[in-house]
Structure formats: structure tokens, C-alpha cells
Amino acid sequence: MNSEPSPYKKPSVAIAGAGITGLTAAFRLRQAGVNVTLYEAGSRAGGVIQSVREHGFLAEFGPNSILETSGKISSLIRDAGLEPRRMYSDPAAENRYLVRGARPVSLPASPLKFFGTALFSLGAKLRLLREPFIRRAPADIEESVAQFVLRRLGQEWLDYAINPMIAGIYAGDPARLSVTYGFPKLQALEQRYGSLILGQIRGAKERKARGEVSKQEAKKVSFDEGLQVLTDTLAASLGSALKLNSPVARLEQNTAGWRVTVRANSGETASDHAAVLLAAPAYKLAELDLRSPAGLSLVPLRDIHYPPVASVVLGFRREDVPHPLDGFGMLVPAVERFSILGTLFSSSLFPNRAPAGHVLLTTYVGGVRAPELALRPESELVALTVKDLRTILGVRGEPTYQHCVLYGKAIPQYEVGYGRFKALMDEAEAKAPGLFLAGHFRNGISLGDSILAGHDVAERIRGWLGRSQSG
């Protein structure tokens, strides 16, 4: 094994994992003049973000857009020099559809339209009027999302609003997800205001004062050639500081900081760093050989549930899809008994996603609801997706383009009891100075959450370096 003493006079930071969190943190630290080395186990940076243009179609295999909920996201795009390539979603594609009775029904955009919608029964609408008068749950009780919604809103809201929303966000099951950890802002609304409805109204004023935008109102952002433009640009800015095909095998805390051992084709190479950021998926961190006087272990992180999800991207002739596709997409409740979780109307959201006379639809299959479906061969995935799209959207003909990608471990599930993992991460940082953890397993699973996690952990690392140097 080769051993390389640190060549830096000033402290350096090692980052494991070149997904969007690791890339953002590396970019921000280098901006601040901190020496960074970013280690990525795979052959490319960007994690699940991947954009591919083929035959005039632009397919996204992971996230399709960023919700611009914070000025920190806007500033990252600006500082990366990508404002000229930034694209906002088409305002004409703001409708969101839920499937009921095997057909897509538009979510009402205003309180007046809500009372006229066919999406919910009269009983469910009247049940909503009772919500402000339902007592809070004890603050120390951890409920599942399903328990929380049943208590406050009732069965129909769980079946036709929350279940499909959970499928669209987590590919998860509301009966297993924790409201405390999966949707902390929802629980905070109840605890602070005693009502979700009153909390939404009053919380909007507070968000405005903080310069934040709710996820429901945030603009959807992409780039002219897809989201990979952002990750490619951040990766390119790092130059030789980005090490691909370099999985971190061992971390050893010593008097100088941390010795990082990386496994590569030529064997193992070790280098010294003042601090280490772990931003790889939790199941990868569980495999690390972590050596610290505090006796820490990240092995329990292997128990975080990551279900498989398949992305099925299909192109069709426009005349073969009678639905106007005038929206973001549609979500499918489990009670409707379809195979798919939901479909994004990709070519409606952003321009140049499909050639003239065609449309592009991105559908997700699997998740906690039906993990076995995600593992089927591509031909079967396409067939079951087309079958559901024929029924729901009236699609005719055959796809003119198809591309499937399987994520065997897709999205970490913040299930009831997730607090034990959060506590483990807090303990690791407290007992091992210079060790930091950030990413979708800790800071929220959306792309925007991961960008903010990268930004915020970079600030924490800078602060720690400043204190350790002055001390």
C-alpha cells in the first residue's frame, strides 16, 4: 500500500461520494479556499442524476427537476455559471393529476375549485372542515404518516391524497413512514398551530419572512440538456480534485485528523486530511472500516430500507396520446390497483425533451408498494407500463422510444424508528471530531434537500476548521 502524507500546509477535507450533496459541498468549500479531495466509487459523478439524449428525446433517469425553495439553490446555479442554461418549467404545465376511477383528475388549484372537484366525496370535503378542531397528538409520540392522516383527515384523504403523494416522493408506504422524520414540517404545523390548515396559512407568512418558498409553490428548474448539466459542471470545476473509481475503504482517526484509505486498480492509497465528509448512500457507509478511539461503527446504517425503483421512459407519437398532458404528471393511489406509481409528463414540463410530433413520459415502477415489479426484465416493465398508460391516459400505438433504468436501492425510507439512525449520526459527529455526514439519508430525500445539505455541511466544516485552527 502506498502512503501519501498530506501535501497541504493548510487543512484539507476528504469527501466520500460524488452525488449532488458531495459535489455541492466540494464546490462551496473550494470557493472558500479549502483544499478538497472528492472520492467517488463509480466511474461518473452525479449519483442518480443522469440525463441522456437519444433520437431527439432527452431522458432523465433520476430526478426530473429541482424545486427552487431556497436562495441557496439559486446561488449555486449562479455561481456555477449556469444561469444562461437554466430553464423553468412551462407555466401551462402546472396541473397535477391524481388517478381516481381509472382516470386522471386534476387537483383543485383553489379552495373554490376544491369544493367542486370530483376527486373527493362530499363526506371527505366536510371532514376537512373538522380538521382545525382536532386535538394535537402528544409531542413525544411518533406516528406513522398513515396514523397521522387518519386521525386528522380520515381514510379517503389517506387513500387518494397522501398514499399517492408518498409514492411520488419516497416510493414508500405511509403505514411505514414516520411523520416525525419523513415529514417533520407536517408534524411541526400540528404542534405549533394545532391545525394543518391554520398552519399552512400562518406558515406562509413566516416562510416569506425567511426568504423561503414552499415546495408546493416553488419553481421547477432544469437545464437545456437536463439536470446532469449541473452535476457535470460542478464535477468539472473540481479538476484533479475529483477521483473517480476510488472507493473509500477505510477511515482511521489519528492525532492529525483522519487517514483515508482508497481502493483503486493499483491497490490501496492512503492520504491524510483534517476532516472527512461522508456523503455516499447509507448502505455504502455501512461497509466502511471506521477506526476511531471512540469505537464508533456505521454498520447499523445497513438497516435503512432502500426499495428498488425502475424508471421507464417512453416516447409516443403525439396523436397516440389523447390526453392533453397539460401538467406536471399524475400519481396513482394504491387502491386503484395499477402497476405503476406515477408518470411525469416530461415533454410538457420543459422544451426539447421530445422531437416534433412526439411526447415523452417518465413512469416509475416498484418501490415499497411493489418491489418485485421493479426487478422485472425491461420488456416486461415496458409492457406493464404501456398497459396502465392505455387505460389511464388512453394511449394508443406502440412507443417510438424506450429506456429503462433500475435503481436496486433507490430512496432511503424514513420509517417509524428512524430516530435511531439520526442518533447514530449525531453521536458519530460528536465523538469523532472532524467527521461529518450529510445526504439524503439524513437531510431529506428531495434534490433540493440534498443541495441544501451540501451547502450547509460545507458551512459546518468551515466553522469547525476555523475553531480547530484557532484552538
Identify whether 169 is part of a domain. Answer: yes
Is 244 in contact with 43 (CB distance < 8 Å)?
yes
Identify whether 84 is part of a domain. Answer: yes
Is 449 in contact with 443 (CB distance < 8 Å)?
yes
Residues 434 and 287 in one domain: yes
Identify whether 223 is part of a domain. Answer: no
Q: How far apart are CA 38 and CA 242, in angstroms?
A: 5
Residues 324 and 340 in one domain: yes
CB neighbours of 84 closer than 8 A, spacing ≥ 6? none
Is 445 in contact with 412 (CB distance < 8 Å)?
yes
**Domain end among 407, 432, 456:** 407
Identify whether 220 is part of a domain. Answer: no
Which structural domain range is residue 196 located in? 110-213
**Domain end among 213, 238, 261:** 213
At 470 the three-state DSSP class reads helix
Residues 59 and 41 in one domain: no
CATH number at residue 353: 3.90.660.20
Is 297 in contact with 290 (CB distance < 8 Å)?
yes
Burial of 18-31, coded b for 16+ CB within 10 Å and e otherwise, reads bbbbbbbbbbbbbe
Q: How many domains does the chain have?
A: 3
Residues 181 and 330 in one domain: no
Residues 386 and 309 in one domain: yes
How confident is the model at residue 416, as a pLDDT?
98
Residues 197 and 165 in one domain: yes
Q: How far apart are CA 469 and CA 465, in angstroms?
A: 6
For the chain, the straight-line distance linking the first and the last C-alpha, in angstroms and rounded, comes to 33
H or E stretch at 363: strand 358-366
HSE at residue 5, side-chain half, CA atoms within 13 A, is 2
Residues 199 and 348 in one domain: no
Identify whether 364 is part of a domain. Answer: yes
Instruction: Return the amino acid letter for 424.
Output: L
How confident is the model at residue 5, as a pLDDT?
43
Identify whether 16 is part of a domain. Answer: yes
How confident is the model at residue 55, as a pLDDT?
95
Identify whether 219 is part of a domain. Answer: no
CATH number at residue 16: 3.50.50.60
Residue among 402, 409, 328 nearest 367 (CA) = 409
How confident is the model at residue 207, as a pLDDT?
60
**Domain end among 213, 242, 277:** 213
Instruction: Return the amino acid letter for 98.
Output: L
User: The cell 415523452 sits on which residue?
Assistant: 360
Residues 299 and 426 in one domain: yes
Identify whether 224 is part of a domain. Answer: no
At 424 the three-state DSSP class reads helix
**Residue 121: all three cell numbers together:** 366525496
Cα three-residue angle 377-379-381, rounded to 5 degrees: 70
How confident is the model at residue 334, as a pLDDT?
97
Residue among 28, 16, 13 nearest 469 (CA) = 13
**Residue ranges of the chain whose pLDDT lies below 50:** 1-8
